[in-house]
Amino acid sequence: MAKTLTTTVTGAVVLALAGLPAAQAQERGADSLQEITVTARKREESLLNVPVSIAVVSGEALRDSAVAQLEALAPTIPNFHFAEAVSGNDQIFMRGIGSGVNSGFENSVGQVIAGLFIGRSRFGRALFMDVAQVEILKGPQGALIGKNTTAGAVNIRTARPTETFEGYIVSGWQFEGDEGYNVEGAVSGPLGERVRGRLAFRREDKDGYVFNVVRKRKEMDRQSVDVRGTLQFAITEDLEATLLVQHGDQTRAGRAREVLNCSAGLRAALAPTGEDCTFNLTNSAVNLRNGVEEPALTNTKGDLVNLTLNLQTALGTLTSVSGYVQYDTRDSWDGDLISFEGSSIDLNESFEQFSQEVRLASDADGPLDYIVGAYFQKADQDNHFKIHANFAGPAPLPTLPAAFRATNNRVSAQTTESSALFGQLTWQLAEQWDLTGGFRYTIEDKDGRHREFPTVLYTDTPRAAPPGGPAANSHDIAASRSEKQFTPNAVLQWRPRDGAMAYFSIGRGFKGGGFDHTLSAPQALALQRYQFKNERVTAYELGTKFAFPAQRLQFTAAIFRSDFDDLQVSSLLPDAAGTIFKVGNAAAARSEGVEFEGRWVPIPRLRLAANVGYLRARYTEFRDAQCYTQQTAALGCVNTVQNLTGKPLQFAPKIKGSIDAQYRVPLSAGLEMTLSTRAYYSDRFAMTIDLDPLSFQESYTKYDASVALQGGDGRWRVALIGQNLGDKLTSNFGNTGPGDRSVFRFAEPPRGVVLQGRIEF
């Protein structure tokens, strides 16, 4: 879209995007700060009463600001990071702690969607659809939510059926940046005397925003369709059942990857294609196989089913949550990032999970408040990772001998069974003091099998292992592991008055060990490299939450420290078998810092908000980390490893935050105009574990904007929304690229402008 249009829009719109998490949760037209409820402790509670650092974003705010998924929300949330990886595990980090790209890793940041805990990062790519609220819980949540929350959890609450008929449709057309459209809607209401229902859908069709100079088209175009149905039954006065069924289908062509810092020889070889090896929203990747282009596609189809029963008893609410989750992903891409035939990759992954939770929660109206329960989960995961090696490009690109050209297959199968007992008891010591103790005892068993073998190039036909090259290794191994973990926590709360609370918490958490799903090694070495240990954390947090209704002011603050042992990492390390990508455990790490969030309504119709975090996340011991490409002894690489003790973790900017303002202007005839502003900042951070100087994202500030006209008591709304109006070019993921010293980066969206309409009925 023409730059003149952008200039006009930028000048006409107050720099903005509707509301920060806390401000976003308010009702339309309210000049006071409304109460926010969260379910961080498996029951609805006021945010100001929960002794956890939490960022909250309402579903209405997500729709009004055209934020469609976690990857777009993450840059505005301090100490939270989400990025799609090249393959396997996406990068969900909290306070500098997360998991590597290997498919065998569980997540350090758990995901709870519609009440179900989900152990795979792939669901982080799902689009927000008819969401009631997103809760970002920071710090270990091991007692109530469970394992694999050593860094925190993301709780996505879907909208529930309503007692009266209502619905909405919201549609947006993005005419600059990632051009295309989306439409979302829902209808809800009673279906009978004791039955309520809700049906929601979302459709998106976007063109992508990276231009492929060889294919002469934009990359990362995608289409998605999501549908969810929810039924709520009042079986008796005391028993209620909720059934939720969701299906999603997402297809994407191409990737927003760019290769940078090419050597002079590589740059010369790529010049005829138009590749300039700079970060400018262009690439030249073509997925060639025997000289014929193969579409670089990613398709994920998934289903989620949740049956929740709530029975009111004399002892409290007895809840049963039965869940089933499955997805299938087919992923194919150009592994060498350039237009010449070199390597191409396929990843097929299937995941299936069944879970059952039963818990009893008291009514919280006496000196003792409790929640106790049991949890069971069984998950099956199958991966087929193929690397097709056919390097035959012009100098200085490598050329494999014909005998070495083959497909390397890495096939993994894993079954996980996890059982847990958990409980939490809160005792009112005095009128202003509460003491809470919680625990979770988990037993987990995993069985895995991993095979590596060569096949004829681009086929599934077996062949003898070549004497060298990418397909030389072969093995067939199996292993089992079992672990038991006790993760307690304790919280002391002080409430000096209504709307004021301070707390100190201490807790333990763990993330299960597992198997390397992309292991490459000969049979003799594969077994000893196959497994990695669990990860453990001890965390401390001191926080306060205050509300001043007369001044229409609220703020929360927290100081935290988390000490990690056996932090799980993935590294590219050379050894006797050659340079391979391995997983393992770093010795120790520490994450500490401060978080602050404030909301204020200084005058009627004006809302201000600020959200900022300071983070110091470091390895306290990591003496055998991988070296980055061409790192010398003078730069710290000794005997093929470097000592990262005292160095920063990935995705851990020291300072990250946002400032927001929103002002409503009454107009005639019942109309109202809303102007909103947002500026969000991130300090410099590393994107790779080896701290390659070429793979840092430098500090940046972005500005978003929206102006909206609404009427009919808020039943219709038209908005012009500007995103990243300064057109700042940034990355959220990167790694080593082709050639001697090149790297690649995933480009985040450039400036975007959305025209959006919404109707409620």
Residue 258 and residue 213 in contact, taking contact as beta carbons nearer than 8 Å: no
> Could you read off the pLDDT of 689-702 as tens digits, one per residue?
999 999 999 999 99
Residue 136 and residue 150 in contact, taking contact as beta carbons nearer than 8 Å: no
| pLDDT at residue number 481 | 96
* CA distance readout (Å), 158 to 133, 472, 647: 7, 48, 40
> How does residue 571 score in pLDDT terms, banded at 50, 70 and 90?
low
> How does residue 572 score in pLDDT terms, banded at 50, 70 and 90?
low
Parallel, antiparallel or unpaired: strands 406-430 and 152-158:
unpaired
Which residues, other chains included, contact 595 with Cβ-Cβ below 8 Å and sequence gap of 6+? 53, 78, 79, 138, 556, 557, 558, 560, 612, 613, 614
SS (H, E, C) 43-60: CCEEHHHCCCEEEEEEHH
Closest among 614, 718, 605 to 663, alpha carbons compared: 605
SS (H, E, C) 112-173: EECCEEECCHHHHHCCCCCEEEEEEEECCCCCCCCCCCCCEEEEEEECCCCCCCEEEEEEEE
> Could you read off the pLDDT of 87-144 as tens digits, one per residue?
778 889 999 999 888 888 888 898 999 889 987 877 778 889 999 999 999 999 878 8
3-state class (DSSP) for residue 530? helix
| pLDDT at residue number 537 | 94
> Could you read off the pLDDT of 528-542 as tens digits, one per residue?
889 999 999 999 999
Phi first, then psi, for residue 72 (nearest 5°) are -85, -30
> Could you read off the pLDDT of 216-263 as tens digits, one per residue?
999 889 999 999 999 999 999 999 999 999 999 999 998 899 999 998
Average the pLDDT over 70-96 and give the result.
Answer: 90
Q: How many residues in total does the chain contain? A: 761
Q: Which amino acid is at 460?
A: D
The token duo for 274 is 């138009």
Q: Which amino acid is at 708?
A: A
> How does residue 367 score in pLDDT terms, banded at 50, 70 and 90?
confident
> How does residue 1 score in pLDDT terms, banded at 50, 70 and 90?
very low
Supply the DSSP symbol for 71.
H
3-state class (DSSP) for residue 499? coil
| pLDDT at residue number 713 | 84
- Chain centroid, CA 170 distance in Å: 24
CA dihedral 84, 89, 95, 97 (to 10 degrees): -150
* pLDDT over 70 (residue 21): no
> Could you read off the pLDDT of 296-334 as tens digits, one per residue?
899 999 999 999 999 999 999 999 999 999 999 999 999
| pLDDT at residue number 301 | 94
> Could you read off the pLDDT of 370-417 as tens digits, one per residue?
999 999 999 999 999 999 999 877 777 778 888 999 999 999 999 999
**pLDDT-above-90 percentage for the chain:** 71
* CA distance readout (Å), 595 to 233, 468, 500, 543, 561: 41, 52, 17, 9, 12
* CA distance readout (Å), 631 to 469, 653, 717: 23, 23, 55
Residue 84 and residue 71 in contact, taking contact as beta carbons nearer than 8 Å: yes
| pLDDT at residue number 195 | 97
Which residues, other chains included, contact 664 with Cβ-Cβ below 8 Å and sequence gap of 6+? 29, 605, 606, 672, 673, 674, 675
> How does residue 578 score in pLDDT terms, banded at 50, 70 and 90?
very low
DSSP string covering 434-470: EEEEEEEEEEEEEEEEEEEEEESTTS--B-PPPSSST
* pLDDT over 60 (residue 2): no
Average the pLDDT over 167-191 and give the result.
Answer: 96
Average pLDDT of the chain is: 90
Q: Which helix (H) or strand (E) holds 219?
A: strand 217-219
Closest among 354, 420, 690, 412 to 531, alpha carbons compared: 412
> Could you read off the pLDDT of 708-760 as tens digits, one per residue?
999 978 899 999 999 999 999 999 999 888 878 899 999 999 999 999 999 99
> How does residue 12 score in pLDDT terms, banded at 50, 70 and 90?
very low
**pLDDT-above-70 percentage for the chain:** 94
| pLDDT at residue number 545 | 96
Whole-number Å distance between alpha carbons of 690 and 735: 10
Higher-pLDDT residue of 55 and 101 is 55
Closest among 316, 427, 312 to 369, alpha carbons compared: 427
The token duo for 98 is 């997360």
> How does residue 502 score in pLDDT terms, banded at 50, 70 and 90?
very high
> How does residue 26 score in pLDDT terms, banded at 50, 70 and 90?
very low
Closest among 375, 365, 243 to 316, alpha carbons compared: 365
3-state class (DSSP) for residue 502? strand
Whole-number Å distance between alpha carbons of 167 and 396: 60
Whole-number Å distance between alpha carbons of 104 and 583: 9
Residue 79 and residue 108 in contact, taking contact as beta carbons nearer than 8 Å: no
Residue 454 and residue 407 in contact, taking contact as beta carbons nearer than 8 Å: yes
| pLDDT at residue number 89 | 81
The angle formed by the CA atoms of residues 89, 94 and 97, to the nearest 5 degrees, is: 70
SS (H, E, C) 623-678: CCEECCCCCCHHHCCECCEECCCCCECECCCCEEEEEEEEEEEECCCCCEEEEEEE
